[in-house]
Copies of this chain bind each other. A is one copy, B any other.
Amino acid sequence: MSDIFLAVDWGTTNRRAFLIENGAVVSTERDATGILAVPPGGFAAEIAALRVRYGAVPMILAGMVGSNRGWIDAGYVGCPAGLEALAAAAKTPIHGVHVIPGVSRIDDHRADVMRGEEVQLLGAVASGMAPHDALLCQPGTHCKWATMQDGAITDFVTAMTGELFALLKGHALIGSAMAGEVANDTVFAQGVADAADDDLLARLFGVRPASLLGLRNDPDAASYVSGLLIGSDCRARLRHGGRDVFLLADPVLGGLYATAISANGGTAMLVDSHAAFVAGIVRLWELMR
């Protein structure tokens, strides 16, 4: 008898479903039915629609669907958090449907949360794509950096790197100069280098005088600002010594982070984030079925 289930990575604006049989992905599809696209009370109908498409197979849902803005608040598992703890804390709002909790870390110094990224992170180490003791990074709107020990998430920090780039481009005085594409070039590298004085507020303003005084071509400003922000992010994480960083990213964003990691004394290795998600969710299913 085959072992089949549906895994859904259900985020804020997107949703990706993987039909998985005997540990291998049979089919996958992505759509824009993130949790914000589901009307209040509408999740049961969404589940019914998935069952029409995929049959009455068990489902494991991860991501913002388990937040207080999603279907059911699946809470958080505190660090250190491994796959066993996530499986044990999963919520079952209706028969055959399991919602994975997020992960939190709290001490007197700092609090942080993640929801959805934990499956990728733990899958990467469970499958051997990254070592059981490693620093992992998931760049994006809210960039996650996770310290893994013995295969569990023991600590992590989130930086609003991507969100701040979008805010500056869309709404700041310097935004009008940021219309160009970001490239992994010498201008980006200069932004990374300028992040080394830990003075982001002044360096960001500096985009405007550089434009007014004709010291930089305006189309390069987006690359420079991206370099400043990604450089600041990597610098803060590698301040106490460069090390290997396993990047769960597409090649473009991964390439930008690799440049900044290298400039800060580290070494970047790219990991396939979709494969890591599948590996993580398959391990969770093995623990929960």
Contacts and interface: CB of A to CB of B under 8 A. Distances in A.
A104 interface: yes
Contact of A233 (B171, B201, B233): B201
A113 interface: yes
A112 interface: yes
A258 interface: no
A48 interface: no
Nearest to A214: B111
A10 to B, nearest CB: 18
A206 interface: yes
A190 B174 CA distance: 29
A232 interface: yes
A212 interface: yes
Interface stretch (A16-24, A93-101, A129-137, A158-166): A158-166
A217 to B, nearest CB: 14
Copies in the complex: 2
Interface in A214-242: 215, 229, 232-233, 236, 239
Given A111-B206, A172-B167, A229 B201 contact: yes
Contact of A200 (B104, B106, B112, B200): B200
Given A111-B215, A171-B171, 10 more contacts: A104-B213, A110-B206, A111-B206, A113-B208, A113-B213, A158-B202, A160-B173, A163-B173, A170-B171, A198-B236
Given A111-B215, A212-B113, A215-B111, A205 B167 contact: no
A15 to B, nearest CB: 20
